[in-house]
């Protein structure tokens, strides 16, 4: 017997709060399950399903823009001087909204460096778990001064039911001989917390046989946005701007995950806001989301970064390293034209 996947059931049932026949969060009776061919389904789900669903499965909370580091590749321009940190009350408000989006499965706390506001981080993980979301944390691991000390930091997070810990472990953050990431990983494994590492290396140039005419490509996993453009793009192989006719990474039409910052901005890609959760609840924002009406997102969907440059007659270079480099440089030129959508300015290196 085959049952509909959990996510699909939630999809079918994800807008009950806008339907007059069921109360918010009420479940369709399980006893009504029927079998058709090899599928088990619940007819109530179909009866009450009246709107297109929100398919958001993850939110990434930028708990703070502040960071103890100032990495060359940081696409949010984070540093010790960066401003903007969630308040406890704002986390509460956000989770009250999030609870109404039934497609949501997980929440990640990141930054900046979320461990800089440790009590808030622990409370956030606890709140996420309380509404049935898996909670993860992305960290640079600076706090793991030894395995034993790292265990002290992780104990409250483990008690709050942390589901995943992702630790940066690369040459941007640490030299081999002084690497707290390894202690963080070992302590997490001892505490039974699922843990993984994130490794982004300095850009390398290599020849890829699959590339057109064996052209050189850039490796290392660095995203050419934010400070990475300022510090790492020079001297790398580049391609003509009109080649970048689609966004290679984000599903801008139907985002499955978004980043939310302390100012309330909901980013579909860092620095591209589709609304503000301190003005409009998250579930409503997604119900009303019209990607083609968004002046930046709409152009990116229609023809990628090249279309953004073309549509707004942006004064641009002939060549860029990749699509994100082209997109980011185009957006930089449009900051004053679309301040509501290209925000906050600090992620573009402006104050
Ligand atoms: S990349 Fe991460 S560790 Fe580095 S400055 Fe940005 S937020 Fe901090
Ligand atoms: S920077 Fe632009 S092209 Fe790159 S992922 Fe973001 S929206 Fe897409």
The whole-number pLDDT of residue 31 equals 40
Task: State if residue 269 touches ligand 2 by the CB under 6 angstroms criterion.
Answer: yes
Q: Is there a single domain that holds both residue 339 and residue 209?
A: yes
pTM (two decimals): 0.82
Domain boundary among 136, 170, 198: 198
Rounded distance, CA 112 to CA 125, Å?
Answer: 17
Rounded distance, CA 306 to CA 88, Å?
Answer: 41
Task: State if residue 347 touches ligand 2 by the CB under 6 angstroms criterion.
Answer: no
Q: Is there a single domain that holds both residue 233 and residue 338?
A: yes
Rounded distance, CA 63 to CA 61, Å?
Answer: 5
Domains in the chain, number? 3
Rounded distance, CA 240 to CA 53, Å?
Answer: 39
Degrees, nearest 5: CA angle 313-316-322? 120
**Ranges in the chain, pLDDT < 70:** 1-53, 171-178, 201, 204-220
The whole-number pLDDT of residue 24 equals 31
Q: Is residue 53 part of a domain?
A: no
Q: What is the longest distance spanned by two Cα atoms in the chain?
A: 64
Predicted confidence (pLDDT) per residue in 92-147, tens digit? 999 999 999 999 999 999 999 999 999 999 999 999 999 999 999 999 999 999 99
Q: Is there a single domain that holds both residue 15 and residue 150?
A: no
Task: State if residue 112 touches ligand 1 by the CB under 6 angstroms criterion.
Answer: yes
Q: Tell me which residue has its CA closest to atom 8 in ligand 2.
A: 247
Q: Tell me which residue has its CA closest to atom 1 in ligand 1.
A: 74
Give the Å distance between the CA of 112 and the centre of ligand 1: 6
Q: Is residue 308 part of a domain?
A: yes
**Structural domain that includes position 281:** 204-348
Rounded distance, CA 275 to CA 290, Å?
Answer: 11
Cα dihedral 137/139/141/143 (nearest 10): -80
Do residues 29 and 42 lie in contact, with contact meaning Cβ atoms separated by under 8 Å?
Answer: yes
The whole-number pLDDT of residue 45 equals 41
Domain boundary among 198, 233, 256: 198
């Amino acid at each position: 017997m085959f049952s509909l996947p959990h996510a699909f059931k939630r999809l079918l049932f994800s807008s009950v709060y806008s339907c007059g026949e069921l109360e918010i969060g009420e479940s369709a009776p399980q006893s009504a399950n029927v079998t058709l061919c090899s599928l088990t389904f619940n007819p109530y789900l179909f009866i009450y399903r009246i709107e297109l669903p929100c398919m958001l499965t993850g939110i990434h909370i930028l708990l703070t823009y502040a960071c103890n580091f100032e990495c060359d590749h940081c696409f949010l321009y984070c540093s010790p001087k960066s401003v903007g940190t969630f308040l406890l009350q704002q986390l509460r408000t956000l989770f009250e909204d999030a609870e109404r989006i039934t497609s949501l499965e997980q929440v990640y706390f990141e930054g900046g460096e979320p461990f800089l506001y440790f009590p808030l981080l622990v409370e956030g993980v606890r709140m996420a778990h309380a509404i049935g979301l898996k909670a993860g944390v992305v960290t640079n691991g600076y706090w793991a001064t030894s395995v034993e000390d790292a265990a002290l930091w992780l104990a409250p997070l483990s008690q709050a039911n942390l589901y995943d810990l992702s630790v940066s472990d690369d040459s941007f953050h640490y030299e081999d001989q002084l690497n707290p990431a390894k202690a963080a990983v070992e302590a997490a494994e001892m505490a039974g917390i699922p843990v993984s590492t994130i490794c982004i290396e300095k850009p390398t140039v290599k020849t890829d046989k699959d590339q057109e005419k064996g052209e050189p490509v850039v490796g290392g996993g660095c995203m050419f946005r934010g400070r990475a453009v300022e510090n790492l793009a020079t001297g790398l192989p580049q391609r003509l701007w009109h080649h970048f006719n689609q966004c290679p990474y984000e599903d801008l039409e139907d985002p499955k995950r978004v980043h939310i910052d302390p100012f309330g901005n909901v980013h579909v890609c860092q620095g591209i806001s589709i609304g503000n959760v301190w003005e409009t609840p998250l579930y409503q924002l997604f119900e009303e989301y019209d990607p083609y009406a968004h002046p930046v997102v709409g152009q990116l969907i229609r023809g990628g970064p090249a279309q953004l440059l073309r549509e707004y007659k942006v004064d641009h270079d002939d060549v860029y390293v990749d699509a994100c480099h082209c997109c980011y440089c185009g957006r930089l030129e449009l900051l004053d034209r679309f301040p509501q959508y290209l925000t906050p300015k600090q992620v573009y290196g402006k104050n």
